[in-house]
Amino acid sequence: MSSLTVIAVVAGLVVGVVLGALGGGGAILAVPVLVFALHESPQSATAGSLVIVGVSSLVAATSHARRGRVRWAQGLLFGAIGMLGAIVGSRLSLDVQGRTLLLAFSVLLLFVALLMWRRASAGAGAATAGEIHSLDIVTFRPTFHVNIPRVVRVLVAASAVGLLTGFFGVGGGFAAVPALVLALDFPMPVAVGTSLLVIALNSATALSTRLLSDASPTWEVVIPFTIAAIGGSLVGARVSGRIPPARLARVFALMLLCVAVYTAVGAGISH
């Protein structure tokens, strides 16, 4: 086994645990590892990270689903709306300089980290009693009912998540989890599980757009990375069920803060 394969396996385990436990952030870790440790070009790293995160997210979502933490109908709808945003974001990113993207990315992460930390401190991330109600855009009852405020919130949140996925070339879990919590009032465990389904859908769309632009992954690196990430995601999914929701939200916020600082510093150095 080559040293690059060992690095890919170890990194994949870490990325998978992050994905399974926090419902996002994996692509944020995968891209720098692929570039700096595995010597991939930014284009190949971006495409490869979408493969890694998309596949491992889908596997982790099934594990969360067995514990009742995935709302499939809401997740599929949320992801479907976000697909168009992912395509638009991918095309828009072609006209933006790399340093500008990195700086914008760090600001976004700081903003989301602040939102999640405040929500955790207020106790809003804690699970509510009983089951979470189904998405109220359309209730599958004899009477047809449309909840206009909920429709607007879902359209805006899902489109924004897809746009960010396509624009920055990452899975989008860093935005999907808070979007599901803030827009749909999901408790943190359900938001984490459902976000994995959204990540898989948006990653597939963003990857397809990049493949059409000839940005293909290096499969001999991506395959072992992905296999390891799948194993790590299953471990992470188990861990998330044993951590209080407020603590999980704080861990998520701290991780975003660290990545934001690292990204901003890296953007300044690379200039």
| Domain locations in the chain as residue ranges | 3-270
Per the rule left: phi > 0, alpha: psi between -120 and 50, beta: everything else, 114 is: alpha
pLDDT tens-place string over residues 83-127 = 999 888 887 877 777 677 777 877 877 887 787 787 677 754 443
Amino acid making up residue 95: D
pLDDT tens-place string over residues 115-142 = 778 767 775 444 332 222 333 333 334 4
Q: How many whole angstroms from its chain centre is CA 167?
A: 13
Total residues found in the chain within this entry: 271
| pLDDT < 50 stretches in the chain | 124-144
DSSP designation for 223: H
